[in-house]
Structure 1
Amino acid sequence: MALLAMSMLLVSCATPENHYDPIEPVNRFTDGVNDAVDRVALKPVTQAYRDLTPDVLKRGISNFYDNWSYLNTVLNDFLQGKGKQGFEDFGRFLVNSTIGLGGLVDVASGMGLEKHEEDFGQTLAVWGVGRGAYLIYPVFGPNSVRKTPDFLTSTLTDGLFWLSFVISPQATLALTALKFIDLRSRAMSATNMRDELALDPYVFTREAWFQHRDYLIHDGKIPKKSQEDDWEEDDWGDEDWQGKGAADPIPPYRAETMRSEARSGLRSYHVNLSSHAIRREAEDMRRRLEEKGIHAEVAGVDVGGRHWFRVRLPELFSPQVARRKAEAMRELLPDLQGAWASPASGSGG
Structure 2
Amino acid sequence: MTDYFSRCRTFGVALAALIGFLGGAAQVAAQNVQEPAPEMSGPVNESDPYENWNRKVYSFNETIDNWFLRPVAQTYRTVMPGFADRAVTNFFNNLTEIRNFANSLFQLKGESAVVAAGRFTYNTVFGLGGLIDVATAFDLPERPEDFGQTLGYWGTDSGPYLMLPFLGPSNPRDFVGLGTDILLLPSAWDAVEEPDVYFARALQIVDKRADLIPAEGFMSGDGYTFVRNAYLQRREYLINDGKTMSDPFADEDDDLMLEDF
Q: What range is the shorter-chain TM-score in?
A: 0.7 to 0.9
| Identity value in percent | 36
1:163 pairs with 187, 191, 206, which one? 191
For residues 24 and 46 of structure 1, do their structure 2 counterparts lie closer, same or farther at Cα, with a shift above 3 Å needed?
same
SS of equivalent to 1:136: strand
Question: Could you tell me how far 1:222 is from its partner in structure 2?
Answer: 2.2
The aligned amino acid for 2:60 is: V
Q: Distance in 2 between matches of 1:215 and 1:236?
A: 26
Aligned length: 208
Query: Which of 161, 168, 186 is the aligned partner of 2:211?
Result: 186
CA-CA distance at 1:19 after TM superposition: 6.8
Query: Residue 130 of structure 2: SS of its match in structure 1?
Result: coil
Secondary structure of the residue aligned to 1:147 is helix
Residue in structure 2 matched with residue 219 of structure 1 by the alignment: 241
Rate the CA distance shift 1:125–1:168 in 2: closer, same or farther, 3 A: closer
Q: Tell me the C-alpha RMSD between the 2 structures.
A: 2.1
Cα pair 2:148 2:178 within 8 Å, conserved: no
> What residue number does 1:137 align with?
164
Cα shift at 1:77: 1.1
* Residues 119 and 150 in structure 1, CA contact (< 8 A), matched pair in contact too: yes
Equivalent in 84, 92, 98 of residue 65 of structure 1: 92
Q: Distance in 2 between matches of 1:87 and 1:136?
A: 34
- Residues in 2 aligned to 1:185 and 1:58: alpha-carbon distance in whole angstroms: 9
Pick from 168, 174, 190 the counterpart of residue 199 of structure 2.
174
Cα gap change, 1:99/1:132 in structure 2, threshold over 3 Å: closer, same or farther? same
Which of 2, 7, 32 in structure 1 is aligned with 2:59? 32
Deviates more, 1:34-43 or 1:213-222: 213-222
Looking at structure 1, the residues matched to 63 and 170 of structure 2 have their Cα atoms a distance apart, in angstroms, of: 19
Contact map agreement 1:69 1:154 (CA 8 A) in 2 = no
Gaps of 5+ in 2: 1-44, 252-257
TM-score (norm 1): 0.55
Q: CA deviation at 1:158?
A: 2.9
TM-score (norm 2): 0.73
Which residue among 145, 155, 175 is the counterpart of 1:128? Answer: 155
Structure number with the higher helix fraction is 2
Question: Contact 1:100/1:107 (CA < 8 Å) preserved in 2?
Answer: yes
- Over alpha carbons, which structure has the higher Rg? 1
